[in-house]
Structure 1
Amino acid sequence: MKKFFPVIAFIAVALVSLAMASFAYFATQEATRIKFEATADDALNRIASRVDLQLSLLRSTQALFDARHGKISSGEFKAFFDSLNVDGNFAGLRGIGFLRLVKTGNEELAERAILDDRGVAYRVHPEAVGRWRAPVKLFEPLDKKNQSAIGYDMMSEPVLRQAIEKAMEDDGQHASGRVLLDGKNGEKVPGFFVFVRLMVPTSPENINAGTKSIEGFVYSVFRAENLFQVALNKTPLLPVSIEVYDRAVDPGNLMFHSQKPAFGTKLLVTRELKVGGQPWLIQFRPTDAFEAPSSRAIPVTLGLLGLLLAVAIALVARYQERAYDVAWELRTTMEKSLLEKDLMLQEMKHRIKNSITRVLAIARQTASGSHDLKEFSDSFSARMQAMAASQDMLTRSRWQKADLRDLLRIELGQVFGKELPEGLLSGPEVLLNETTTQALGLTFHELATNALKYGETGNSVDALKVDWAKEGRGRNRTLVLNWRESGNDRLTAPAAIGFGTKLIDMNITRELNGTIERDFRPDGLQVHIRIPLQD
């Protein structure tokens, strides 16, 4: 438990600090959300106020028609419109007008009324699509581009027809869905219409007549972009980017989008605004001018300070633990050193004993197969050098592993006394343990010595090829090595087995638990060795 106390102290203090930082972070986020919602509501109020102002003009126009029982000439209507100063007071208004309601088949009533008023004949167009028709009788401003609007049946437009039919049912104002209007440069821009019905007495000459019928509809046309820009461009400017959709959030229903780039997408406020009974969905996002009520650096600072405090407490606990452990470490160091020294001495004794046993065995076998002292000295020295080379490789690797390619290069180089040509050795990297290194070192030395004495390799080392591969995986790995000598047409199997062959067989079969096969072919000797690889 004492060992893990610094970690436990660090985790506990860090968790408390992170909890405090998280609380501060979420509090900051909530304060930012509340502030932005208030900003969005402010922008919504500006839009609603502007829309109410625009619709108040429609109510005033309706009152004018009511006062005259719908009998307004085009000249009077133009004078009324000019007095409004639309550009200065009602920016976003595309125009206002009056629709005459007639049944399909009675279009001549509307056409006669237009002719009587303007002195010019206009046809009701286009073709009828229902029971009722609502051609334009009056419209301002009426410039050359708008002349074709006179006589146009708005019942032919499905979106407008839906709003007009609602206006036929009550005295309220009814807005249409999104429509495309002509912009300043001829492009199409989103807009909408608002309709209100005009009721007139069926017998205007009878003062007590209480029955009324629908004479037509007073309407206003608005460009959405101008309307919203005027509403939002009041000072102080609000740091919001808005998107306005008709009924549902869909690219095909987009009425207006702010030119200000939105700053991030995490803060999003959606509000609904009903205009003439038509619902608009308005999405508000902050711009880069929006300032959070509190800095986001506060939670980060709290978290960092908490982590620093946790680190400091953990370090203090760790130093106290280290101070306690120093005495124990000092006491155990001497015991460990003495134990390691004893193990090293035992290991050295074991290795020296094994080496002496191997040297004595090689000496006895070499002496029994030698005819004189010189032959014994040469053979024994060569085999000792092969053992020394293997020992040297293991010493350089701190008695861990020796590379098979390096072992072959050293042993063959000692025998042939020259640089080995490219391509003589081929195979993947194979790391050998101590036992395998010493056994294969003597085996390669004996094979090379025999090749030098009896094979064509004595004339050229190019006649020798050695390749190897690894088979299997994990503990079942096997080293497969092929030793090939070529170019000797007189090669035959020996009549008697010499010490070198016995030494090779003993190393492969007994020391390494492997197998060795010799094939004395007419073109040279081939030796096939398989030994299990051990870690």
Structure 2
Amino acid sequence: MKSSEAYRRRRDPWIVAFVFAISMAATLALTLYEKQRNYQTGLVRFEQEAGVIETSLRTTFDAYAQVLRSGVALFEATENVDRTVWQDYVSNLKLEENYPGIQGLSFNAILHDRAEVDALVADVQANDWAEFDLRPDGERPIYAPVLYLEPFIGRNRPALGFDIYSETNRRAAVDRALLLGEPSMTSKITLVQDDESLNDETKAGVLVVLPIFDRTTTAMATQREKAKGLIVSVFRIKDLMETILKANFDGEGLYRKDVSLFEVTPEGELLSMYQDMPEPDHTPVFESENTFSMYGKTWRLMATSTSVFEKATALNSHIIVLLTGVLMSMLLTFLVWGQAVRNRESQRAADALAKGNAQIALLMKEVNHRSKNLLSLIQAIARQTSASNPQDFSKSFSRRLTSLSASQDLLVRNNWEDVDLQDLITSQLGHFKDLIGSRIVLTGPKTLLNAANAQTISMAIHELATNATKYGALSNDVGVVNVDWTTTGTGPQAMFELHWVESGGPPVVAPETKGFGSKVTGTMVKLSLEGEIETRFQPEGFEWHLACPASSLAKLD
């Protein structure tokens, strides 16, 4: 017997250490998994927000392409479109209201030789705009000068007469549009409207062009020969991007990401079109990159998260998992150690190894059952406390664990058997012991609760006492709390009632919102005891009433 006892004394610490190591390893693994899951959740949310920008950009250009098509339709349906007709047409479009981001909408004439150029210049100078001239001068296969441009105000005026076919990037877009007969976009350009005072990013712009064809030409004519004009929309990328961002992200949402837009050249070079000012001294947690094509050009949208986004989407569930796991490991280790001690005592009192083994099996089942129940309760407290009051999580979580600890101490002292209700209430009001009997009056017969119901009611009493201290009868020097309970009837019809009635405190006002405390004193108690809860916010004092079958108090947990 002595050698067996000595063996168990040497063995038990190793078992306890092994249980602690395994539980902590599992806790760390779950914490890392939860942290990675939180990161993936944040990344998905960030990519969704970045995807909104790309979708809006594509949708915006598609909508604006319809403006070009309607302009082509105007010229095909109207025999003579002069400056006044064009001005009325663009004015009715209400670009600033319906198509924000467009700097202007122009009609560019297609001229096939120098004679047509001279004739057009002479006609416009004589009948429309005396200052009109082709710019820049020179010989080209075709000419595409800006003839009408609306709104014809401010910095749009210098663009009148500019031949977009004279510049390489604009010419490439015109050639593509003439060849395919569809909208085509230029590479990054500097708008004629912009002066040297603007920086390169501010001046970054693009044109989208759509040709107008003369349907009366011969079938043998080339696409270039059939063309009689272009409808051109002018975009300054900075203005367009800011319009899109403001339309999709109001308020603080604008600052949740840093956005950069690049044109991808055929050689793979990135040309900066738009770039937010990066947040100083900040390393982004999330990044997103989308490449897409529009009207013959490839663009790349890059976004990085800011501290605003990261704070708004921060998930701390991995911390809760870690704290819960550490607490569970400590509790489990304590229980296993207690089991070991009790096992040795049982072995000394036991008559044989078989009886000892049976006792160990029984105790291990008990530990497993109690540990699961306690862990589930702690996890629920942590989750609900975090959800209802994340700013004060640590303080609220600590108070509720202290309350749970008090009920655990009482259950342990009673060997996890039935607990007297008055002892339970007194343990939860321990910090008011000087007021019990004077300002806190407890009245009721001896009533026993099982372990599960004892935990539930103890947490409810804790929440009621906390609220009374903050807002109710215990927040001043004269308020009184009456706690009474009784059982009426006999047999299966017997009913148990518990009443918490406050008086003498400040005037009571019903809260606008409900937190975790309301769930503890309401839903949890109701479900555990299969009863009904009634709360009354009377001006003279708050009241909480519980009514349930008396048989619910002693049901096995």
Alignment of 1:513-528 (within 5 A): none
Contact 1:224/1:255 (CA < 8 Å) preserved in 2?
yes
The answer to which of 137-146 and 18-27 deviates more is 137-146
Q: Quick check: which one's helix share is greater? A: 2
Contact 1:244/1:280 (CA < 8 Å) preserved in 2?
yes
Deviation of 1:318 (Å): 8.9
Question: Which residue in the other structure is 2:100 paired with?
Answer: 91
* Correspondent of 1:256 among 274, 296, 299: 274
Deviation of 1:115 (Å): 3.7
Contact 2:109/2:229 (CA < 8 Å) preserved in 1?
yes
Q: Distance in 2 between matches of 1:183 and 1:87?
A: 19
What amino acid sits opposite 2:60 in the alignment?
A: R
Question: Which residue in the other structure is 1:396 paired with?
Answer: none
Is 1:15 aligned to 2:25, yes or no?
A: yes
Deviation of 1:9 (Å): 4.1
When the two chains are superposed, the root-mean-square deviation of aligned CA atoms in Å is: 4.1
Query: 3-state DSSP class of the match of 2:134?
Result: coil
Structure 2 vs 1, CA of residues 211 and 246 (structure 1 numbering), >3 Å: closer, same or farther? closer
* Correspondent of 2:50 among 40, 58, 76: 40
Structure 2 vs 1, CA of residues 22 and 235 (structure 1 numbering), >3 Å: closer, same or farther? same
Deviation of 1:172 (Å): 0.9
| Post-superposition CA distance 1:439-497 (Å, at most 9, x none) | xxxxxxxxxxxxxxxxxxxxxxxxxxxxxxxxxxxxxxxxxxxxxxxxxxxxxxxxxxx
Question: Which residue in the other structure is 1:219 paired with?
Answer: 232
- Structure 1, unaligned stretches of length 5 or more? 205-209, 323-535
Contact 2:178/2:224 (CA < 8 Å) preserved in 1?
no
The answer to which of 48-57 and 187-196 deviates more is 48-57
Is 1:196 aligned to 2:214, yes or no?
A: no
What amino acid sits opposite 1:137 in the alignment?
A: L
Q: Distance in 1 between matches of 2:129 and 2:55?
A: 46
Structure 2 vs 1, CA of residues 251 and 211 (structure 1 numbering), >3 Å: closer, same or farther? closer
Structure 2 vs 1, CA of residues 163 and 82 (structure 1 numbering), >3 Å: closer, same or farther? same
Question: Which residue in the other structure is 2:198 paired with?
Answer: 187
Q: Distance in 2 between matches of 1:318 and 1:203?
A: 99
Q: Distance in 2 between matches of 1:155 and 1:95?
A: 18
Structure 2 vs 1, CA of residues 8 and 195 (structure 1 numbering), >3 Å: closer, same or farther? same
Q: Distance in 2 between matches of 1:95 and 1:154?
A: 14
The answer to which of 78-87 and 240-249 deviates more is 240-249
Contact 1:244/1:281 (CA < 8 Å) preserved in 2?
yes
What amino acid sits opposite 1:223 in the alignment?
A: R
Q: Distance in 2 between matches of 1:185 and 1:153?
A: 20
Question: Which residue in the other structure is 1:277 paired with?
Answer: 296
Question: Which residue in the other structure is 1:76 paired with?
Answer: 85
Deviation of 1:37 (Å): 2.4
The answer to which of 166-175 and 232-241 deviates more is 232-241
Is 1:245 aligned to 2:245, yes or no?
A: no
Between structure 1 and structure 2, the one with the greater Rg is 1
| Post-superposition CA distance 1:56-97 (Å, at most 9, x none) | 22222221112135x421222223223333332222211111
What amino acid sits opposite 1:280 in the alignment?
A: W
Deviation of 1:198 (Å): 0.7
Q: Distance in 1 between matches of 2:217 and 2:318?
A: 76
Structure 2 vs 1, CA of residues 55 and 293 (structure 1 numbering), >3 Å: closer, same or farther? same
The answer to which of 103-112 and 17-26 deviates more is 103-112
Is 1:52 aligned to 2:70, yes or no?
A: no
Deviation of 1:176 (Å): 0.9
Contact 2:72/2:231 (CA < 8 Å) preserved in 1?
yes
Structure 2 vs 1, CA of residues 175 and 201 (structure 1 numbering), >3 Å: closer, same or farther? same
Query: 3-state DSSP class of the match of 2:103?
Result: strand
Question: Which residue in the other structure is 2:454 paired with?
Answer: none
Query: 3-state DSSP class of the match of 1:168?
Result: helix
Question: Which residue in the other structure is 1:231 paired with?
Answer: 244
Alignment of 1:48-447 (within 5 A): 48-68=58-78, 71-103=80-112, 105-106=114-115, 107-115=117-125, 117-118=127-128, 120=130, 122-128=132-138, 130-143=140-153, 145-181=155-191, 182=193, 186-188=197-199, 189=202, 190-202=204-216, 213-234=226-247, 237=250, 238=253, 239-247=256-264, 253-258=271-276, 261=279, 264-290=283-309, 296-310=315-329
Deviation of 1:36 (Å): 2.4
What amino acid sits opposite 2:35 in the alignment?
A: Y
**What TM-score, normalized to structure 1?**
0.51
| Post-superposition CA distance 1:23-55 (Å, at most 9, x none) | 212222222222222233333333333333333
Deviation of 1:138 (Å): 1.9
Structure 2 vs 1, CA of residues 84 and 211 (structure 1 numbering), >3 Å: closer, same or farther? closer
Query: 3-state DSSP class of the match of 1:169?
Result: helix
Aligned length: 320
Query: 3-state DSSP class of the match of 2:121?
Result: helix
Q: Distance in 2 between matches of 1:20 and 1:290?
A: 25
Q: Distance in 1 between matches of 2:205 and 2:195?
A: 13
Structure 2 vs 1, CA of residues 163 and 86 (structure 1 numbering), >3 Å: closer, same or farther? same
Structure 2 vs 1, CA of residues 120 and 240 (structure 1 numbering), >3 Å: closer, same or farther? same
Q: Distance in 1 between matches of 2:298 and 2:224?
A: 33
Q: Distance in 1 between matches of 2:155 and 2:243?
A: 25
Question: Which residue in the other structure is 1:325 paired with?
Answer: none
Q: Distance in 2 between matches of 1:39 and 1:146?
A: 34
What amino acid sits opposite 1:187 in the alignment?
A: L
What amino acid sits opposite 1:233 in the alignment?
A: K
Q: Distance in 2 between matches of 1:97 and 1:75?
A: 13
Query: 3-state DSSP class of the match of 2:214?
Result: strand
Q: Distance in 2 between matches of 1:120 and 1:187?
A: 29
Structure 2 vs 1, CA of residues 18 and 111 (structure 1 numbering), >3 Å: closer, same or farther? same
Deviation of 1:191 (Å): 1.5
Query: 3-state DSSP class of the match of 1:52?
Result: helix
Contact 2:260/2:303 (CA < 8 Å) preserved in 1?
yes
Contact 2:212/2:231 (CA < 8 Å) preserved in 1?
yes
| Post-superposition CA distance 1:303-353 (Å, at most 9, x none) | 24334554666688899999xxxxxxxxxxxxxxxxxxxxxxxxxxxxxxx
- Structure 2, unaligned stretches of length 5 or more? 1-9, 342-557
Deviation of 1:261 (Å): 4.6
Contact 2:112/2:225 (CA < 8 Å) preserved in 1?
no
Q: Percent identity?
A: 17
Contact 1:241/1:286 (CA < 8 Å) preserved in 2?
yes
Contact 2:217/2:226 (CA < 8 Å) preserved in 1?
no
Contact 2:258/2:278 (CA < 8 Å) preserved in 1?
yes
What amino acid sits opposite 1:232 in the alignment?
A: L
Deviation of 1:280 (Å): 2.0
Query: 3-state DSSP class of the match of 2:32?
Result: helix
| Post-superposition CA distance 1:89-125 (Å, at most 9, x none) | 2222111112222345443244345346525364423
